[in-house]
Amino acid sequence: MRAVVLYESMFGNTRDVATAISQGLGVEVDVEVVEVSQAPSSVDSNVDLLVVGGPTHAFGMSRDSTRTSATEKTDEELVSLGAGLREWLAAAWMPPSTAVAAFDTRVAKPRVPGSAAAAAHRRLRRLGARPVAPAESFYVEDMTGPLIVGELDRARRWGEQLAAEITPAPA
Ligand SMILES: Cc1cc2nc3c(=O)[nH]c(=O)nc-3n(C[C@H](O)[C@H](O)[C@H](O)COP(=O)(O)O)c2cc1C
């Protein structure tokens, strides 16, 4: 079994969640973690599960304008410098019924409606993919992080659950 975890991240939090998800998945399946601007727009037919994630910006997936705004929040170089998850999904192709799941990171307080994962999940469905889990959010304390304590463990467990969805149950 082969899984790909594709992520977009400004300050590193979503990248860290992607890594934790891959650790959970990796117990059962071969897994590759790819930054979104490095990912080909076609998903190989030998990918058994595609997991996509990004930061929630302005109640949904990032755009050029929100990514520019993110550069103004830090003196550090951003993790994702190219196009984001929204642009990748707009151009993506994958075999029909590819197993998929979507996650995001969001601020814990105040918790506002809108989620990049929910938007990505909808787009994946329109692409003909087959979600194996509801869209999932992982929470940061503040705009640039850090992640709330326990979220990386939750991400690892979520990865394990996703792996269980695509691996046949023992006889
Ligand atoms: C321009 C901008 C808009 C944001 N809008 C939202 C929002 O609508 N809802 C929310 O929960 N968090 C919002 N955030 C916080 C991000 O979700 C947070 O920065 C992200 O989870 C951190 O992940 P990263 O380190 O991978 O970029 C916003 C952040 C930025 C930079």
CATH number of the CATH domain containing 42: 3.40.50.360
Q: Which atom of ligand 1 is nearest to the CA of 105?
A: 21
Residue 52 to residue 103: CA distance in whole angstroms: 6
- Whether 115 is in the pocket of ligand 1, judged by its Cβ within 6 Å, is no
Residue whose pair of structure tokens reads 């197993």 in the numeric block: 99
pLDDT digits (tens, 9 = 90+) for 104-117: 999 999 999 999 99
Ligand 1 pocket test, pick from 59, 105, 138 with the greatest ligand atom count within 8 Å of Cβ, gives 105
Residue 65 lies in a domain: yes
Domain span at 44: 2-166
From the CA of 157, how far away is ligand 1's center (Å)?
A: 23
Q: Flag whether 9 is in a domain.
A: yes
The ligand 1 atom nearest the CA atom of 7: 26
Instruction: Answer yes or no: is 171 within a domain.
Output: no
The pTM (predicted TM-score) of the whole model is: 0.97
Residue 90 lies in a domain: yes
99 inside domain: yes
* Domains of the chain: total: 1
pLDDT tens digits, residue range 54-108?
999 999 999 999 999 999 999 999 999 999 999 999 999 999 999 999 999 999 9
